[in-house]
Amino acid sequence: MYLYATSVRPGPANPTRVMEWAVGMTQKINQISEVPTALWVTSMSPGMGTLAFVAVVDDLAQIEATEDKLASDPGYGTLVEQGLGLLSSDPVDQRLLQIVHADPDAANIDARYATTVVATLKPGAMAAGTELGVDIAQRVKKLTGRPTSFAVAMTGVYGQVSWMSLAENIDQLQAAGEAMGADAGFTKLLDSKVPSAYQPDAIQTVSRKVI
């Protein structure tokens, strides 16, 4: 199972127009794609306002099939042209992650918020860091009750990994963060095992689902 995300940065255009365009793009993708795509926006975090079109697929052939269909659709081409006047000149950022630990409850809730922690494995810690990543995801789920998955990057920074925890509302988001911060056992685990497995440059962001 894979997570496929395409991220863009809004330009100086009216935010309402940018969001209308992004919603329209999501709807167009879902008209064509074999798998659902959701629109998320980064909130309360570095890169605030970044828009991400996110899909979970069973195999890479589904991505290829969708991209082929989009490339031949005139309506999609028109939306791409409209986006040129609404988005920043930053390169489009695409990420492909292999989901190593997929929380089965992730598909059973109406997730409106996602907390993502991105870290990079240290050289020589590929196996141990991946195993620890799954353990951390399971402990977060046990502590917070929030579905939490763990994935390894297939493109981009080699050795990059991600934890993704979902919440149905902002109250659950807040409660989850407080639960992890208050648990001495979880903090001890992070202090004792994380430094040997991951680079000291992890980044945590929060995203809010638009559609």
What are the CB-based long-range contacts (under 8 Å, 24+) for 166-169? 166/106, 166/109, 166/111, 166/113, 166/114, 167/111, 167/112, 167/113, 167/114, 167/115, 168/109, 168/110, 168/111, 168/112, 168/113, 169/112, 169/113
pTM of the predicted protein model: 0.94
What are the CB-based long-range contacts (under 8 Å, 24+) for 188-195? 189/136, 189/139, 190/136, 193/132, 194/132
pLDDT value for 14: 87
pLDDT tens for the chain, residues 1 to 211 = 999 999 999 998 789 999 999 999 999 999 999 899 999 999 999 999 999 999 999 999 999 999 999 999 999 999 999 999 999 999 999 999 999 999 999 999 999 999 999 999 999 999 999 999 999 999 999 999 999 999 999 999 999 999 999 999 999 999 999 999 999 999 999 999 999 999 999 999 999 999 9
pLDDT value for 34: 84
Q: Which residues, listed in sequence order, are joined to residue 7 by a DSSP beta bridge?
A: 52, 93
pLDDT value for 12: 87
How far apart are alpha carbons 173 and 109 in whole angstroms? 14
